[in-house]
Structure 1
Amino acid sequence: MTSSRFIITVIGSDRVGIVARITTVMASYNVNIVDISQTIMQGIFTMIMLAEAPKENFDLAAFQQAMDAEGKSLGVEVKVQHEDAFRFMHRI
């Protein structure tokens, strides 16, 4: 199976349910977490994930919209970037 990898960042005020609700959206799009790091810094929740989804029939725009909508309902900012774009933007 070929896949497409993404960097997903979540930042905002900490509250109950952020991880549960974000990962529920991910699961509904068959997106798997490859690696994850999260921390709470003085009440600010931060999470970054490397995730992957099957390339076949994966609608990145719809996934980004769903993640953005869930983030807004939680009061956090969610960004989804394709791994290639992320690496290009952050190269040295």
Structure 2
Amino acid sequence: MKAIVTVVGADKVGIIAKVSAYLAKHSINIADISQTILSGNFVMMMMVDFDNANIGIDTARKELVEELGTLGVEANIMNEKVFSEMHRI
């Protein structure tokens, strides 16, 4: 299963490192990544693959939100199919 990870918040050192370490710890592969800084705000989207993950998407969402809350940024993980349907024009 593929999912979209979004992270938004004030730019600071360690955001990508914390997300990548969390995903690696749970065998969630990063398939694609895009990040930018918009007016001082860090914005990142990742396509990740849960095929070999040792946790489910709901647990990953909850834990990643908690992990990144310590950095003051917001995160979300959404099934890629749901994300695509929500953003279909």
Q: TM-score, normalised by structure 2?
A: 0.91
* Residue from 80, 83, 87 that aligns with 1:86: 83
Q: Runs (4+) of structure 1 moved beyond 4 Å?
A: none
CA distance in 2: counterparts of 1:25 and 1:57, whole angstroms = 12
CA drift of 1:61 comes to 1.4
CA-based RMSD: 1.4
Find out whether 1:33 has 2:26 as its counterpart: no
Find out whether 1:71 has 2:68 as its counterpart: yes
* Residue from 54, 59, 62 that aligns with 1:62: 59
Find out whether 1:44 has 2:41 as its counterpart: yes
CA drift of 1:55 comes to 6.0
CA drift of 1:42 comes to 2.2
CA drift of 1:57 comes to 5.4
Count residues with an aligned counterpart: 89
CA distance in 1: counterparts of 2:15 and 2:82, whole angstroms = 25
Q: Which amino acid aligns with 2:27?
A: N
Q: TM-score, normalised by structure 1?
A: 0.89
Find out whether 1:13 has 2:17 as its counterpart: no
CA drift of 1:41 comes to 1.7
CA 1:56/1:26 → structure 2, altered by over 3 Å: closer, same or farther?
A: closer
CA drift of 1:60 comes to 1.6
